[in-house]
Amino acid sequence: MERDRLGSSLRQPEPRLGGRRQIWVFLLSFIFCAPQAVSPARADETVDRLLADSKTAWNAGDRDRAIELATRAIEADSNDARLHLFRGTLYEHERKHQEAVNDFDQAIKLAPRDAEAYEHRGSERFKLGRIADSIADFDQEIALDPKREPGHWKRGISYYYAGRYDEGRRQFEGYQTVDGNDVENAVWRFLCMARKDGPEKARGDLLKIKQDRRIPMMQIYALFAGRAKPDDVMAAVQAGEPAAEESHHRQFYAELYLGLYREALGDETDARRHLRAAVDHKIGHYMWDVAKVHLDLLDQARRKPSAN
């Protein structure tokens, strides 16, 4: 799912649900985008300079310095919600999920009607395995900004892991109106339906996808439709001698969806093998976190004592 929909004020949404993410582009439009009241006791130019310097450090690859400068900006004005939201996104990219949640908590406390903060916190709560909490945040985000609902594939994924399969199915059907050629959307709807009605019924009602240009998405679609084999998906990964980075991304998505496919058919052992391979092909996108959460849930279920 290529659209990493983290909001308009920080990152520009991409056209699909999966794929690569420019992890710095959100900084380009954020710093001065949030109007706010000015405290007479605060030197605005100091806070704005710290934010600008933090952005410069981040784009130069000095992430520790960027966070340090963002922290100094917060120390200069701890009641400014945008500063907590900004630093939270830095922690988010650094995979410091609890630190990010802490900042988003404070941003929401200071600006409880900011849909963006709920979206970010919901995403980070999901990554921590707090599925119900992620749904609560996504629901509040949509309540504050209803136009986000059709494209909110993240909520659909959280519904899936919460066992709310009918709601997940409806969410992915809504996303079909946003992008009718996203194989991942069709697959996640299939997964929701398969859990409730079985894989054969889900296959018979698979959403129609004409052309997803990302490799190996059409082979994955054919697999879920019953027209291809796992070997066809893996063969597509190396088609055309892709560059190393492109091959890495292709392998991640192939392994993720092969794992989900095998699990839908009841083969947990093979599913775990593919999902482990997906997690080993780490990419900077929310879908990698989905793979990690899924594998963690499988491991938790395996460790859980038997009722017998």
User: 106-137, pLDDT tens digit by residue?
Assistant: 999 999 999 999 999 999 999 999 999 999 99
Note if the bond before 242 is cis, omega within 30 degrees: no
Q: What's the confidence (pLDDT) of residue 84?
A: 98
Query: Which one is predicted more confidently, 245 or 40?
Result: 245
Q: pLDDT at residue 274 above 50?
A: yes
Which amino acid, one-letter code, is at 170? Answer: R
Q: What's the confidence (pLDDT) of residue 23?
A: 39
User: 165-203, pLDDT tens digit by residue?
Assistant: 999 999 999 999 999 999 999 999 999 999 999 999 999
Report CA torsion sign: 100, 103, 109, 112.
Answer: negative
Q: pLDDT at residue 93 above 70?
A: yes
User: 207-216, pLDDT tens digit by residue?
Assistant: 999 999 999 9
Q: pLDDT at residue 16 above 70?
A: no
Rounded-to-5 percentages of helix, strand, coil across the chain? 65, 0, 35
- Going by pLDDT thresholds of 50, 70 and 90, the confidence category of residue 242 is very high
Q: pLDDT at residue 2 above 90?
A: no
Distance, in Å, from the CA atom of 193 to the CA atom of 201, rounded to the nearest integer, reads 8
| Dihedral over alpha carbons 165, 7, 220, 182 (to 10 degrees) | 90
- DSSP character for 12? P
The pLDDT of 38-50, averaged and rounded, is 67
Distance, in Å, from the CA atom of 66 to the CA atom of 80, rounded to the nearest integer, reads 18
Contact 116, 85 (CB under 8 A): yes
Q: What is the pTM of this model?
A: 0.87
Share of the chain above pLDDT 70, in %: 85
Distance, in Å, from the CA atom of 157 to the CA atom of 171, rounded to the nearest integer, reads 9
The pLDDT of 55-59, averaged and rounded, is 97
Short-list 223, 219, 215, CA closest to 264: 223
User: Please, how many CA atoms are within 13 Å of residue 27, restricted to the half-sphere of its CB?
Assistant: 24
Tokens 């100094």 sit on residue: 72
Q: What's the confidence (pLDDT) of residue 126?
A: 98
Distance, in Å, from the CA atom of 218 to the CA atom of 232, rounded to the nearest integer, reads 10
> Which H, E and C letters describe 37-96, residue by residue?
CCCCCCCHHHHHHHHHHHHHHHHCCCHHHHHHHHHHHHHHCCCCHHHHHHHHHHHHHCCC
- DSSP bridge pairs for 17: 2
- Going by pLDDT thresholds of 50, 70 and 90, the confidence category of residue 236 is very high
Q: CB burial class (10 A; 0-12, 13-18, 19+) of residue 79?
A: middle
Where is 288: in which H helix or E strand? helix 286-303
